[in-house]
Amino acid sequence: MSNMDARMMAAQEELLHAIDAATVHLTKPCPPDPDRATVLADLDERLADVRGRAGVYPAIGSGRGRGALVELADGSVKWDMIIGIGVHGFGHGDLDLTRVALEAALQDTVMQGNLQCNAEAIEFAEALRAAARRGGADMDHCYPACSGAMANENALKVCMQARNGAGRVLAFRDNFIGRTVTLSHIGDSEGHREGVPRSIEVDYLPYWDAADPDGSTAEAVAALEAALERAPDEHACFVMELVQGEGGFAAAPASFFQPLLERARAAGVPIWFDEIQTFGRTDRMFRFEGLGLGPMADVVTVGKMAQGCAAMWRASLNPRPGLLSGTFLGSTAAMAVGRRVIERLASGDAYGEDGRHARLFRQFSERCEAMVAAIPDCFPDVVGGRGPIPKWGGTGGMMRLTPFGGDRSRIGALVQRLFRDGVIAFLCGHGPVHLRLLPPVGVIEPADLDAVLDIIQAAIAAEGEEG
């Protein structure tokens, strides 16, 4: 919704031109500017002091970037292959999104809330609901939130009320859905809940294992049957990441999920797809769409690449007044930009078997295959629960590579080396551990991805020599 007159529009165009001119030189990684070296060190020290601990690496931006490249506070320029753990899907300094944000900044409030909002909150929710419906999920309602954790808390409450206060949850091992008191106990990581008292009971099912697809599927079905028999009518929901994020970018096929979803539905347990990390990033806008599972969805949560977060649900689960509220739904700019992100994803060539995201993943896979052949000593077998697992994997813009057998300390050292060499990456998995890449799929070019993988191959080789 525009309140801009001619003067505002002219000023906006001048600002955009200035932003473009200020970042046109950002074309490749470069080392720190000696005159700014102490700036980043000071900021990193202040961050550690105020937060209580240092970050993984000093990835503190200068406020400037262009496409897949980001400038840090010391003037260095790096390939951003983690993008805020999946947030900046169109990279840095995108002028179209900046234009939308500038216009939103001219609205009367910075934040919009449950009690009073402007059109941006409504349009964002409508756009998400429409996208879910196009993907085959019969979502009737959408409630924005400021974080993925809050969206997931809202989804959990909707399910619990619909199930008359049921206090158990079905989830997969190694899942992650947020860090609130309750969500940290649904997520399967001890480190995320150390010292936090248990607030919910969870029945964990084994996830799909590439080393034994049929056996792991049968084991999951058996575990589900046992959980439903042990606690009939006590499960509020069955929550799942269709591609596990923190769990290691395991992308299970539809044949794994289908029997589990059918059995849960027969038992009356609401099915909740947590698409916070997968939204926008795979070979369809929603992972459930690519797997043909949309009709099974009762609840869907989104975030990260959408810029805002939200929970969606069927009309049959619509909660009674009072259950959902909150001071903030999100910022005006985030929701306006989020709506534009959805429009761009839907209207471009991102999706389909030969869409942009699928092509990027094929390129990644081909390069990984060549890399393993070139430096085989750095890629011993990676052993999972049932045997060797692929040395690279994921789907679309969710990419993982596993050198050094998935040894945590060596992957951690590799991440640090990559940061020094000009690539910001991260790790995932609980063991084996993987190198995680979340490239800005909306803007990264094949030549960019090749340049990144060249640096990664050289870093792995160097780490292998030193190790």
Quick: pLDDT tens for 117-175: 999 999 999 999 999 999 999 999 999 999 999 999 999 999 999 999 999 999 999 99
At 229, the amino acid letter reads E
The per-residue pLDDT string of the chain (467 residues; one tens digit each, 9 = 90 and over) reads 466 789 989 999 999 999 999 999 999 999 999 999 899 999 999 999 999 999 999 999 999 999 999 999 999 999 999 999 999 999 999 999 999 999 999 999 999 999 999 999 999 999 999 999 999 999 999 999 999 999 999 999 999 999 999 999 999 999 999 999 999 999 998 888 899 999 999 999 999 998 899 999 999 999 999 999 999 999 999 999 999 999 889 899 999 999 999 999 999 999 999 999 999 999 999 999 999 999 999 999 999 999 999 999 999 999 999 999 989 999 999 999 999 999 999 999 999 999 999 999 999 999 999 999 999 999 999 988 778 889 999 999 999 999 999 999 999 999 999 999 999 999 999 889 999 999 999 999 999 999 999 999 999 999 999 87
- DSSP string spanning 360-396? HHHHHHHHHHHHHHHSGGG-PPEE-SSSEE-SEEEET
Q: Which residue has the tokens 């085989």?
A: 376
**Phi (first) and psi of residue 235, to 5 degrees:** -100, 125
Question: How many other C-beta atoms lie within 10 A of the C-beta of residue 230?
Answer: 10
Q: How far apart are CA 287 and CA 187, in angstroms?
A: 20
pLDDT at 386: 79
Residue 29 three-state SS: coil
pLDDT at 1: 47
Distances in Å between the Cα of 73 and the Cα atoms of 32, 54, 197, 298, 419 are: 9, 16, 39, 44, 14
Sheet holding 392-395, edge to edge: 392-395, 398-401, 434-437, 426-428
CA atoms within 13 A on the CB side of 171: 24
Q: Report CA 187 to chain centroid distance, whole Å.
A: 15
- CB–CB of 378/461 below 8 Å? yes
Architecture of domain 110-347: 3-Layer(aba) Sandwich (3.40)
Within 231-253, where are the H helices? none
Residue 190 three-state SS: helix
- Residue 321 parent element (H or E): none
Q: How far apart are CA 340 and CA 343, in angstroms?
A: 5
What are the residues facing 309 on neighbouring strands? 145
Q: From the CA atom positions of the chain, what is the Rg in Å?
A: 22
Distances in Å between the Cα of 258 and the Cα atoms of 218, 221, 288 are: 12, 10, 11
Q: How far apart are CA 213 and CA 196, in angstroms?
A: 35
- Residue 190 makes CB contacts below 8 A (sequence gap 6+) with none
Q: How far apart are CA 243 and CA 287, in angstroms?
A: 8
Q: How far apart are CA 256 and CA 268, in angstroms?
A: 20
Q: How far apart are CA 421 and CA 453, in angstroms?
A: 12
- In the numeric block, which tokens belong to residue 252? 């299970």
Break the chain into its structural domains and give their ranges: 6-97+355-466, 110-347
Q: How far apart are CA 341 and CA 332, in angstroms?
A: 14
Q: How far apart are CA 460 and CA 417, in angstroms?
A: 9
pLDDT tens-digit series, residues 296-333: 999 999 999 999 999 999 999 999 999 999 899 999 99
- Residue 366 makes CB contacts below 8 A (sequence gap 6+) with none
Q: C-alpha angle 138/139/141, rounded to 5°?
A: 150
The CATH T-level fold of domain 6-97+355-466 is: Aspartate Aminotransferase, domain 1 (3.90.1150)
pLDDT at 2: 61
pLDDT at 431: 87
- CB–CB of 19/93 below 8 Å? yes
- CB–CB of 276/302 below 8 Å? yes
